[in-house]
């Protein structure tokens, strides 16, 4: 695909970045290590780390020693196991609160579950500094607590995100404790995420698992690609199950073990079944079926009903950061995807 053919809004979507926003750094202290404050030790061992940033991470509970949070004056000991959860790029400096409708599915003192509509970018980035979900959440939090200002907005909130044109459930953390807990669950692959997708073609198997690293395309750096040999990118695992077959397209359930950028979209394209109307990965044209006038018109009508990739984050489950209880949330399909499925059901039943 030529870069010049990618529309501006697609470029914005592609620039959104990885779904999982935290990376984990694992360190084991050498046997001969002399006692040393952990903040000084981490500054020496982590590239581009400043003492101030390290101390902020410690205060936020994102540094664990032998599985427990510590104070900045903790002195490391030989063979200490250190885990640092490092946020890649999410900062609230400069975020402008904006009033916007938010579909809040659930909320308590630690977490918020938001049902994101398609077309909404999650976090400000180049070309999208306003009008994002985070701008709306910032405004919402200010209205709930007038002591919150643009200067002291909570530093944390996002522990993952979904693509601009994907709809569905997201969990946001409201406290540093919740960020640490959820980031660990995402990294340990214990978060339950179930998506529904309409893909091109009739899958050969009723269920399966796609294992292929996902990383940036070697030639087109704004795109992502699958690397089944694991020679590039990051580990990515998607489990799928067929829910309904329509001959030319198939409704599938996808459960993520990992959360890489565009993972489901890239994996399904990799096995020859791109998502319906996914303009970035080849699903916005007739992939299966003979191109004759009536069928072509039917598919074009389907594209109009659902003018984006047919992908919805239906379910999210996790362990609550404070209570330790299992939390599970499930959303209904949005009107565009449910209308699309109804259209295909009618077509294959001969009622169209």
User: Which residues form the catalytic set?
Assistant: 163
Give the CB-side neighbour count of residue 118, counting CA atoms within 13 A. 17
d(CA 228, CA 23): 22
Contact 216, 227 (CB under 8 A): no
CA 232 to chain centre: 20
CA 143 to chain centre: 27
Residues in the chain: 352
d(CA 145, CA 156): 16
Classify the phi-psi angles of 94: left when phi > 0, otherwise alpha if psi is within -120 to 50, otherwise beta.
Answer: left
The DSSP result for 118-174, as a single string, is: TT--SS-BTTBSSSSHHHHHHHHHHHH-TT--SSS--S--BSB---TT-EEEEEEES
CB atoms within 10 A of CB 234: 16
Contact 295, 343 (CB under 8 A): no
The DSSP result for 221-282, as a single string, is: TTSEEEETT-SSSB--EEEEEEEEE-SSEEEEEEEESS--TTHHHHHHHHTT-PBTT-TTTT
| SS3 category, 283 | coil
Nearest to residue 198, comparing CAs of 301, 302, 297? Answer: 302
| Sign of the CA dihedral with 112 first, then 113, 117, and 123 last | positive
CB atoms within 10 A of CB 172: 24
Question: What angle, rounded to 10 degrees, do the helices at 38-45 and 51-59 form?
Answer: 120
């Amino acid at each position: 695909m030529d870069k010049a053919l990618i529309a501006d809004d697609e470029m914005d979507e592609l620039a959104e970045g990885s779904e999982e926003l935290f990376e984990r750094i694992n360190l084991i202290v050498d046997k001969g290590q002399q006692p040393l404050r952990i903040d000084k030790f981490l500054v020496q061992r982590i590239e581009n780390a400043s003492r101030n940033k390290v101390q902020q991470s410690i205060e936020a509970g994102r540094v664990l020693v032998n599985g427990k949070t510590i104070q900045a004056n903790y002195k490391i000991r030989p063979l200490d196991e250190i885990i640092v959860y490092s946020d890649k790029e999410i900062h609230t400096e400069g975020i402008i609160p904006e009033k916007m409708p938010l579909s809040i599915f659930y909320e308590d003192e630690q977490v918020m579950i938001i049902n994101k509509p398609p077309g909404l970018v999650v976090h400000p980035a180049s070309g999208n500094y306003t009008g994002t979900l985070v701008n709306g959440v910032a405004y919402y939090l200010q209205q709930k607590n007038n002591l919150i200002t643009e200067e002291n907005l909570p530093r944390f909130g996002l522990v993952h995100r979904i693509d601009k044109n994907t709809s569905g459930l997201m969990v946001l953390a409201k406290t540093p404790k919740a960020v640490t807990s959820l980031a660990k669950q995402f990294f340990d692959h214990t978060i339950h995420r179930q998506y529904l997708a309409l893909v091109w073609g009739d899958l050969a198997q009723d269920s399966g698992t796609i294992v292929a690293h996902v990383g940036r395309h070697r030639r087109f750096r704004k795109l992502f690609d699958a690397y089944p040999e694991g020679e590039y990118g990051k580990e990515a695992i998607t489990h799928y199950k067929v829910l309904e077959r329509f001959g030319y397209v198939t409704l599938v359930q996808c459960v993520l073990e990992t959360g890489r950028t565009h993972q489901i979209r890239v994996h399904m394209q990799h096995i020859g079944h791109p998502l319906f109307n996914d303009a970035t990965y080849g699903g916005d044209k007739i992939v299966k079926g003979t191109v004759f006038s009536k069928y072509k018109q039917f598919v074009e009508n389907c594209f109009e009903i659902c003018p984006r990739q047919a992908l919805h984050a239906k379910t999210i489950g996790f362990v609550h950061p404070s209570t330790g209880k299992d939390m599970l949330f499930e959303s209904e399909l949005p009107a565009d995807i449910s209308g699309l499925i109804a259209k295909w059901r009618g077509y294959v039943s001969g009622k169209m």
